[in-house]
Amino acid sequence: MAEFSRGFGSRRRESDAQLPPGQYLTADFPVLSAGPTPRIATEEWEFSVVTETGQTTSWSWEQLQALPIDDIHTDIHCVTRWSKLGTRWRGVSLDTLLEGVSTTAVSAMAHSYGGYTTNVPLVDLRGGRAWVAFEFDGAPLAPEHGGPARLLVPHLYFWKSAKWVRGLVLQERDDPGFWEQNGYNLHGDPWREERYW
């Protein structure tokens, strides 16, 4: 049976133009996980992109840090209905990591240390919309929030921003990941309330 952390509860709804439907504001950063928190040393961390033909490109922690780094200011929205506005992150754009990757894939399966997976259409990972993030609010990303690095796809519900990310496998179909196989929406747009099947 899966181990779930605190935070899967209901709260009041608020009316705010910055909030997607059904969300409420939080000043906290709730910790929600389906399992124990992996502890990955940066010396052992690696991120890879595997195409549908099996071609693999990988980066060590040092190689990732040598790439152009973006400062990201964005709102985040969890499917459990909390939203946090004006968050600050640093990371490497997926545009940079996918540059030069030859693919006809339409989707990617994000894989995490610890076994978590989530599917994300490639269109949602390109165009300055997604990053491999390793800093939050001016500090290294804490393990409980996905450190040393997590996928950051802030325009989708936050379960798509896979914690402890270790790579993307590009796919010709948009196959479901962990939560998607368990009733969550394949896409996850908070403004359309794409929460569940």
Model confidence pLDDT, tens digit, residues 104-114: 999 999 999 99
Q: What is the rounded average pLDDT of the residues 130-141?
A: 98
Higher pLDDT, 7 or 128: 128
pLDDT of 17 reads 86
- Rounded distance between C-alpha atoms, residue 7 and residue 32, angstroms: 6
User: CA torsion 43→44→49→52, rounded to 10°?
Assistant: 160
Domains and CATH numbers, the chain: 44-192 (3.90.420.10)
Across 11-15, 68-72, 114-118, 168-172, least confident range: 11-15
- Bridge partners, residue 192, by sequence: none
Cβ neighbour number for residue 37 with a 10 Å cutoff: 17
pLDDT of 14 reads 53
pLDDT of 73 reads 98
